[in-house]
Amino acid sequence: MTDITINEAQQKVDEWIKTIGVKYFSELTNLGILMEEVGELSRLMVRTYGEQSFKKTDMDKDLGDEMADILWVLICLANQTGVNLTDAWQKNIEKKTKRDANRHKNNKKLT
C-alpha cells in the first residue's frame, strides 16, 4: 500500500462517505462514535500491555485496526467542521516545540 498524506486521507474519507456511506453522521453522533472507538482501543491496550486478561470477544482484535477506526472518525469530524488536519498538525507541532523546548529535558523523571 502506498503512503498517503493527511490531506489525501481527508479526501478519501470524504469520497467514501459520499459514495458508500451515503452521508456523514451528525457531529455529535461522530463524537460519540469516537469515544466508543477510543474505549475499544483502551480495552485492547489494557489487555495487551496491562494486567487484565483477555475475554473471548477480545482475542481477535487488532491494535492497528482499532487505531485506524479512531483516525477514521477523527477525519470525519475534521471534514465536517472544516478543519484541515495538515495545517492543524503543523501548528500543533510548532506549539509543542516552542512550549516544550526544555520542559522534557529538564524533567528529572525522564532522565
pLDDT by 10s per residue, the chain, length 111: 789 999 999 999 999 999 999 999 999 999 999 999 999 999 999 999 999 888 888 888 999 999 999 999 999 999 999 999 999 999 999 999 999 888 888 888 887
Give the DSSP letter of residue 51: S
Closest CA to 9 of 95, 93, 70: 70
Mean of per-residue pLDDT scores for the chain: 94
Q: Where are the domains of the chain?
A: 6-84
Considering the four listed CATH numbers 1.10.3720.10, 1.10.510.10, 1.10.287.1080, 3.90.1580.10, the one that applies to the domain covering 6-84 is 1.10.287.1080
In the numeric block, which cell numbers belong to residue 84? 484541515
State the Cα–Cα distance between residues 17 and 93, nearest whole angstrom: 29
C-alpha distances out from residue 90 to 1, 93, 97, 102, Å: 25, 5, 11, 20
Would you give the distance in Å from CA 32 to the centre of its chain? 14
State the Cα–Cα distance between residues 27 and 105, nearest whole angstrom: 39
